[in-house]
Amino acid sequence: MFLYNAWYVAAWSKDIGSAPLGRTLLNEPVVLYRTADGAVAALEDRCCHRGMPLSCGAVFGNNIRCEYHGMVFDPAGGCVEIPGQAIIPRSARVRSFPVTECDDLVWIWMGEPSLADPAKIPRYPWHKMWPYKSKTERIECNYLLLSDNLLDQTHGAYVHKSTLASNVDAYERAEMTINSTPDGVKFIRWMLNCVPPSIYHRAVPFKGRVDRWGEFEYVAPSCIMQFTGARDIGEGAYENDARDGGFGLRIFYGITPETEHTSWFMWSTANSYRQDDPQATQELFEEIEHAFKEDEDVLVAQYAMLRRLGDRPLINIASDGARVQARRALERKIAEERGIPREDVVTLV
Ligand code: FES
Ligand SMILES: [Fe+2]
């Protein structure tokens, strides 16, 4: 069950040009393209004549032409030309989706168009303020496993032994503060007096042990914003909220279902340190990319097992607090959209 009346990340702005891009979102084939006016258009990727994908077509000015029999559609989905035919029937149209571009991202609304309010898009000014690099990945698991993974950071000690991990006991003593929000959940997690992860240490020199934080905001259904960092102990990161300096990393995540079983994982890494050094931004990106591959291996194996034995019960443990709140927020929204009790909402196998 997906939430339809919501903004999802469809793509990075830089990936939408005058060549059409076909992308399945929430099981729906969509074609995205940039018009001559510079706007992004999103249409059903299925010509209303004989079903040819419009993503195999070509953009002319603000319109897109199906390269099978040549029908031309405008950004609102209306047919504006049928070769060799003077009269265009009213049924000659494809669905169009509301899209908005902000913070270098293309957001799409897959539900009732009249409800699409761009003011509800989570804003992310850091793409304009810090140097960053981004990536789009297609992951073979339900999209909720990706947010589950990010909202339970205790996996770091095991999954990311060689990349992001500190000493295991620092995870066990981590302090966690969780707050629910109208659209999801926020939490901050402090690991005090711990060994800096190798990624951090390679990025900035630390004197010894550090105080390390991970701050996450989940906005249902699709978005997570992370601010992670560390400073040398004694510099007041924890005591005085003095979190400038040292190592700082912000990650944006747009997590959009492709189907029930596959997901688009669009993320960026931005660095607070050595901001005039492109090498620092590149190295951080590569390190995080490597860590996400570690997550992907886990999620693909986990999802294959859940599909096989999804009817058997699972348990929650203490570290599931934020994950459970996030899931509840999403279920609440789906229940409201469908007019059903929250208990009847099934979000995952
Ligand atoms: S299938 Fe598109 S014009 Fe015929
Ligand atoms: Fe991870």
Question: How much distance in Å is there from the Cα of 115 to the middle of ligand 2?
Answer: 34
For residue range 111-139, what is the model confidence (pLDDT) as tens digits? 999 999 999 999 999 999 999 999 999 99
Domain span holding position 85: 7-120
- Are both 92 and 144 inside the same structural domain? no
- Are both 137 and 207 inside the same structural domain? yes
Report the distance separating Cα 42 and Cα 255, nearest Å. Answer: 18
| Token pair recorded at residue 99 | 């899209």
DSSP 8-state class, residue 108: E
Indicate the pLDDT class of residue 161, thresholds 50, 70 and 90.
Answer: confident
| CA-47 nearest atom, ligand 1 | 2
The answer to whether the beta carbons of residues 321 and 279 sit under 8 Å apart is: no
Mean pLDDT of the chain: 95
User: What are the E-state strand segments in the chain?
Assistant: 7-12, 21-25, 28-34, 40-44, 58-60, 63-65, 72-73, 79-81, 99-102, 105-109, 132-139, 175-181, 184-194, 210-219, 223-232, 247-257, 263-271
Question: How much distance in Å is there from the Cα of 67 to the middle of ligand 1?
Answer: 7
- Are both 108 and 147 inside the same structural domain? no
CATH number for the domain that contains residue 267: 3.90.380.10
CATH number for the domain that contains residue 66: 2.102.10.10
The answer to whether the beta carbons of residues 107 and 100 sit under 8 Å apart is: yes
What pLDDT score was predicted for residue 166? 65
Report the distance separating Cα 342 and Cα 328, nearest Å. Answer: 8
Domains identified in the chain, total number: 2
Helix then strand then coil, in percent of the chain rounded to 5, is 30, 35, 40
What pLDDT score was predicted for residue 348? 80
- Are both 141 and 22 inside the same structural domain? no
Residue 348 located in a structural domain? no
Determine phi and psi for 13, rounding to 5 degrees. -50, -40
Checking if the pLDDT of 163 tops 90, the result is no
Question: How much distance in Å is there from the Cα of 263 to the middle of ligand 1?
Answer: 29
* Better-predicted residue by pLDDT, 167 or 254: 254
Ligand closest to 150 (CA) is: 2
Residue 268 located in a structural domain? yes
3-state SS, one letter per residue, for 46-90: CCCCCCCCHHHCEEECCEEECCCCCCEECCCCEEEEECCECCCCC
pTM for this entry: 0.95
Residues with CB under 6 A from ligand 1: 47, 49-50, 52, 66, 68-71
Residue 349 located in a structural domain? no
Report the distance separating Cα 98 and Cα 158, nearest Å. Answer: 41
The answer to whether the beta carbons of residues 271 and 131 sit under 8 Å apart is: yes
